[in-house]
């Protein structure tokens, strides 16, 4: 049997008994007992605040000073292609080119679908032949006009001479009438020649119109990309028939890409064109930045929100169309106070605010407006530049009451 553990247990039990039940005797034994009645020199004066604070509610307060806070308008939105177009056929024809596959990059003006010309080339040649024929008639018609004009001039000379001789009695009335009839015939010939010239010119214009129509029809056979971008769908298959309005292919432009969000009517006045903006994409928490390029002047009738667009560079096309994003648009900063969430309270009218004390420790209620919520606390506006806020015990006091404050050091 081991005797030392038993002795140690007995000793510990004795010491515990003396410490609990015979504490005074133990203190007297070691010379640490104090006199039951303190002397006058041992009676301490009461603390100055002990009398002053008698009957006052004790609260914990902290001093706060306003600090500049960068403000932002936060909205949820999504990415959108800068441009998107469905390239459609403007005429009916058979596809004569192999298809381009979706995902391919295309340059502006690059051919997407080439259609079979059919008889359109022959129609153009026929219109050109008519143009040439009409053009060949112009010199002959012009010469006829010149000839008719000369005959008219000659007839007018003879008519004037006959008229003058008739007045002097050297020419008969019959000769004058004959000269007048010759003038009328010359004028009719001139009118006919001019009509022939105009008809020749009209033939040229009609031929030019036919050439333009056939050329436009031929131009419609080549469907090209209106801008540089990506093919979002395969182009029409070789040998397929495209009717007027049929889809050749869809092209989208992703550089730059747009961020589209809808700002509430209470915040839209804080957004300005050209304002910098940051966004966090839902996929991978990637952060991107850009500038506000558009602010709608008309609200959505169902949500009363305003469309805002932000241009974001996307040279590598890594940002896709339709990705969800949380957007923060920079707005004018404000001077705000960072306070604990627990300091917030309501007055009798249900108004949100904080209770403060002045230099005389008198309580007052100050309405505030919440600006931002952070893990360190909440940023509020509506308070003076420097203020003492009750952070503990504000629910037990009302405005106009004097309190006994204990100041808490602010650690940020």
Q: What is the pLDDT of residues 302-361, one digit of tens each?
A: 989 999 999 999 999 889 999 999 999 988 778 899 999 989 999 888 899 999 999 999
Q: Evaluate if pTM is beyond 0.85.
A: no
The torsion angle over the Cα atoms of residues 49, 51, 55 and 59, rounded to 10 degrees, is: 0
310 contacts 73 by C-beta, under 8 angstroms:
no
Residue range(s) in the chain whose domain bears CATH number 2.40.30.170: 253-333
d(C-alpha 131, C-alpha 208), whole Å: 7
pLDDT (0 to 100) of residue 51: 40
251 contacts 231 by C-beta, under 8 angstroms:
yes
d(C-alpha 243, C-alpha 156), whole Å: 65
Q: Which residue has the tokens 């009957």?
A: 55
Under CATH, domain 253-333 is a member of which superfamily? Efflux pump adaptor protein, beta barrel domain (2.40.30.170)
d(C-alpha 158, C-alpha 183), whole Å: 9
d(C-alpha 390, C-alpha 61), whole Å: 4
| Residues forming beta bridges with residue 306, ordered by sequence position | 263
The model's confidence at residue 17, banded by pLDDT at 50, 70 and 90, is low
Q: What is the pLDDT of residues 182-218, one digit of tens each?
A: 878 888 888 888 888 888 888 888 888 888 899 899 9
**CA distances to 76, 85, 108, 114, 256 from 252, in Å:** 23, 7, 12, 20, 11
**CA distances to 268, 305, 309 from 294, in Å:** 12, 14, 5
Percent helix, strand and coil across the chain, each to the nearest 5: 35, 35, 35
Residue range(s) in the chain whose domain bears CATH number 1.10.287.620: 120-219
Residue range(s) in the chain whose domain bears CATH number 2.40.420.20: 57-69+335-407
What percent of the chain lies above the pLDDT cut of 70? 86
> Would you state the structure tokens that stand for residue 334, as one six-digit string?
């404000």
| Residues forming beta bridges with residue 113, ordered by sequence position | 223
d(C-alpha 316, C-alpha 305), whole Å: 32
Inter-axis angle of helices 23-30 and 4-21, nearest 10: 100
Alpha-carbon torsion (324, 330, 331, 336), positive or negative: positive
* Assigned architecture for domain 57-69+335-407: Beta Barrel (2.40)
pLDDT value at 412 more than 50: no
* Assigned architecture for domain 120-219: Orthogonal Bundle (1.10)
Listed ranges 127-136, 167-176, 184-193, 317-326; the one with the highest mean pLDDT: 317-326
Ramachandran region, residue 28 (left: φ > 0; alpha: ψ -120 to 50; beta: rest): alpha
């Amino acid at each position: 049997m081991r005797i030392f553990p038993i002795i140690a247990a007995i000793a510990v039990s004795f010491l515990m008994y003396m410490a609990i039940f015979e504490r005074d005797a133990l203190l007297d034994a070691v010379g640490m007992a104090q006199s039951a009645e303190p002397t006058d020199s041992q009676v301490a004066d009461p603390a100055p605040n002990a009398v002053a604070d008698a009957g006052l509610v004790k609260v914990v307060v902290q001093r706060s000073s306003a600090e500049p806070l960068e403000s932002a308008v936060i909205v949820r939105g999504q990415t959108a292609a800068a441009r998107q177009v469905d390239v459609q056929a403007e005429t009916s024809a058979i596809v004569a080119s192999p298809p381009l596959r979706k995902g391919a990059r295309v340059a502006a003006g690059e051919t997407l679908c080439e259609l079979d010309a059919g008889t359109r080339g022959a129609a153009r040649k026929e219109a050109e032949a008519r143009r040439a024929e009409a053009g060949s008639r112009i010199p002959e018609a012009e010469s006829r006009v010149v000839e008719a004009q000369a005959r008219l001039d000659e007839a007018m000379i003879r008519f004037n001479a006959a008229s003058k001789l008739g007045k002097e009695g050297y020419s008969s009335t019959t000769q004058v009438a004959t000269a007048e009839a010759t003038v009328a015939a010359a004028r009719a010939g001139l009118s006919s020649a001019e009509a022939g010239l105009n008809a020749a010119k009209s033939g040229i214009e009609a031929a030019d119109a036919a050439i333009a129509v056939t050329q436009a029809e031929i131009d419609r056979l080549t469907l090209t990309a209106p801008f540089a971008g990506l093919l979002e769908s395969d182009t029409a298959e070789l040998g397929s028939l495209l009717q007027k309005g049929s889809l050749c292919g869809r092209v989208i432009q992703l550089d730059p890409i747009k961020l589209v969000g809808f700002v509430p009517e209470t915040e839209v006045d804080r957004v300005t064109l050209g304002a910098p903006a940051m966004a966090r994409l839902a996929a991978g928490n990637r952060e991107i930045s850009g500038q506000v390029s558009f602010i709608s002047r008309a609200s959505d009738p169902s949500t009363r929100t305003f469309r805002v667009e932000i241009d974001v560079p996307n040279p590598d096309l890594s940002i896709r169309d339709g990705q969800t994003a949380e957007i923060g648009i920079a707005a004018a900063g404000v001077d705000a106070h960072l306070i604990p969430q627990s300091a917030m309270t309501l007055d009798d009218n249900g108004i949100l605010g904080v209770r403060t004390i002045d230099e005389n420790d008198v309580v007052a209620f100050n309405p505030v407006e919440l600006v931002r919520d952070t893990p360190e606390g909440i940023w509020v506006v509506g308070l003076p530049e420097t203020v003492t806020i009750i952070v503990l015990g504000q629910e037990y006091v009302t405005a106009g009451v004097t309190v006994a404050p204990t100041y808490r050091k602010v650690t940020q």
